[in-house]
């Protein structure tokens, strides 16, 4: 008799790259799992939580309460779930986690975020007692879960060490690109007289190393290149914001940084996975993201899927996604000379760009794709289903 499987709730926080992954999971779901997932977004607004609507409530608390309300409403859709898969973690979710077989999907634990301060605006404990209490509460949450999926072995090791989670309950689920959306671009026929186009995509401009890229652009003696930067406007240098005429966070604007750096274009207000964003990837010849702190990099994987050679900061779990010198190049965090040498070498060497870009695409087809990732996740969820709940 064929075993009957039930519903799995996928509850996703919608900030930063989580929203992109929420869409990718839906678009890349393997056919054999059709009908099983319920996709539950967790926005930080528009809930029925009365306290969240109180005036003068700090925005962070309001945001979290909205998310918790949406999570509780989503979890209440069914009495029994095969599992709940959270790409969001709040201490206020403990009652939901205890009621159902629950899993967490993450690239960074709170302890790892504290290690990466001040790049992450994660509040550090004020003293040893507060640090102990905070770790105790976080340990309680992590050990309530049936299991955890991390986006790197680096993250898994941190969770096992900092929260005493047994190794058999921590599963490494390397991320991937959405190959239904991100297709290979053949760049071999492009004219050698065409300027080499470099692309950087990172909302948090300083964290993603945008200042280093701008500094390189201003100082480089090479002239046969153009640079496109896709970011949020708030962290841009004052002189760049002035050229852009101080756009609001959601305003779509593209401008050259003339006369100071005329071969640099800055784009604000472009959302992930939109035709505008995808065209910039298709037009590019190199992807550059000298990030200073990250758990992983979906944007880099998307670039690799289109056949772009990538230069990415060697932080967090990113070195697990790239074979240095084969499918991309790892950058030493904060090392301006390393960035300049590797970027200018790629600009000068067309054959290297094509060879590394092709290898990058192949690595996505073989391993770093969302369909493979979902197979791995469902395999664990269905295997655990037959075991007694913790």
Average of pLDDT values for 213-224? 95
pLDDT at 304 over 50: yes
Answer yes or no: CATH 3.40.50.2000 is held by domain 8-176+369-385. Answer: yes
Q: For position 122, what pLDDT does the model report? A: 55
What is the Cα 130 distance to its own chain's centre? 29
User: ∠387-389-390 over CA atoms, to 5°?
Assistant: 120
DSSP codes, 199-221: EEE-SSTTTTTHHHHHHHHHH--
Predicted local confidence at residue 2, as pLDDT:
44
Instruction: Please calculate the CA angle 56-62-68 and round it to the nearest 5 degrees.
Output: 155
Q: How far apart are CA 357 and CA 304, in angstroms?
A: 7
Q: What pLDDT score was predicted for residue 5?
A: 79
User: In this model, does residue 215 exceed pLDDT 90?
Assistant: yes
**Distance separating the N- and C-terminal Cα atoms of the chain:** 27
pLDDT over 90 percentage in the chain: 77
Q: What is the pLDDT of residues 336-354, one digit of tens each?
A: 999 999 999 999 999 999 9
Q: Where are the domains of the chain?
A: 8-176+369-385, 196-366
- Residue 3: the pLDDT is 57
32-41, 43-52, 355-364: which range is least confident on average? 43-52
Task: Please report the pLDDT score of residue 311 as a whole number.
Answer: 98
pLDDT at 29 over 80: yes
How far does Cα 35 stand from its chain's mean position? 26
Map residue 31 onto helix, strand or coil.
helix
CATH architecture of 196-366: 3-Layer(aba) Sandwich (3.40)
Mean pLDDT of the chain: 92
Whether 196-366 and 8-176+369-385 are alike in CATH topology: the answer is yes
Distance CA 385, CA 8 (A): 11
Residue 228 scores a pLDDT above 60: yes
Task: Please give the pLDDT value at position 292.
Answer: 93
* Entry pTM: 0.92
Per-residue pLDDT at 1 exceeds 50? no
CA separation (Å) from 336 to 155, 204, 339?
Answer: 27, 19, 5
The two structure tokens encoding residue 370: 């969302």
Whether the pLDDT of residue 303 is over 90: the answer is: yes
250-287 pLDDT, tens digit per residue, is 899 999 999 999 999 999 999 888 899 999 999 999 99
Closest CA relative to residue 302, chosen from 358, 362, 361:
361
Q: pLDDT of 72-125, one tens digit each?
A: 999 999 988 999 999 988 888 989 999 999 999 998 887 787 777 677 655 556
- Most confident range (mean pLDDT) of 25-29, 87-91, 119-123, 163-167 is 25-29
């Amino acid at each position: 008799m064929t075993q009957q499987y039930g519903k799995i709730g996928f509850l996703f926080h919608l900030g930063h790259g989580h929203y992109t992954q929420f869409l990718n999971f839906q678009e890349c779901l393997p056919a054999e799992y059709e009908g099983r997932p319920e996709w539950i977004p967790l926005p930080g607004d528009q809930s029925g939580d009365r306290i969240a609507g109180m005036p003068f409530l700090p925005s962070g608390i309001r945001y979290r309460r909205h998310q918790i309300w949406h999570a509780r409403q989503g979890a209440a859709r069914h009495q029994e779930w095969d599992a709940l898969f959270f790409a969001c973690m709040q201490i206020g979710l403990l009652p939901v986690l205890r009621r159902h077989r629950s899993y967490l999907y993450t690239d960074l634990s709170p302890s790892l975020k504290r290690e990466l301060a001040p790049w992450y605006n994660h509040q550090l404990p004020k003293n040893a007692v507060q640090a102990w209490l905070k770790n105790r509460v976080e340990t309680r949450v992590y050990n309530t879960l049936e299991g955890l999926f991390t986006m790197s072995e680096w993250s898994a090791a941190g969770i096992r060490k900092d929260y005493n989670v047994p190794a058999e309950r921590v599963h490494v689920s390397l991320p991937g690109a959405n190959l239904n959306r991100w297709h290979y671009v053949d760049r071999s026929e492009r004219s050698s007289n065409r300027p080499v186009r470099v692309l950087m995509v990172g909302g948090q401009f300083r964290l993603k190393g945008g200042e280093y890229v701008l500094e390189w652009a201003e100082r480089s003696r090479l002239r046969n290149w153009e640079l496109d930067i896709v970011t949020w406007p708030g962290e841009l240098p004052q002189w760049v914001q002035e050229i852009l005429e101080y756009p609001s966070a959601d305003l779509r604007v593209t401008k050259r940084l003339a006369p100071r750096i005329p071969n640099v274009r800055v784009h604000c207000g472009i959302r992930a996975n939109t035709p505008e964003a995808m065209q910039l990837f298709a037009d590019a010849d190199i992807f550059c993201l000298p990030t200073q702190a990250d758990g992983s990099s979906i944007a880099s994987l998307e670039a690799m899927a289109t056949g772009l050679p990538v230069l990415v900061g060697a932080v967090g779990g990113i070195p697990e996604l790239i074979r240095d010198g084969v499918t991309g190049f790892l950058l030493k965090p904060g090392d301006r000379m390393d960035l300049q040498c590797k970027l200018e070498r790629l600009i000068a060497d067309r054959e290297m760009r094509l060879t590394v870009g092709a290898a990058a695409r192949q690595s996505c087809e073989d391993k770093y794709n969302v369909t493979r990732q979902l197979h791995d996740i469902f395999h664990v969820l269905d295997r655990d289903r037959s075991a007694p709940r913790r």
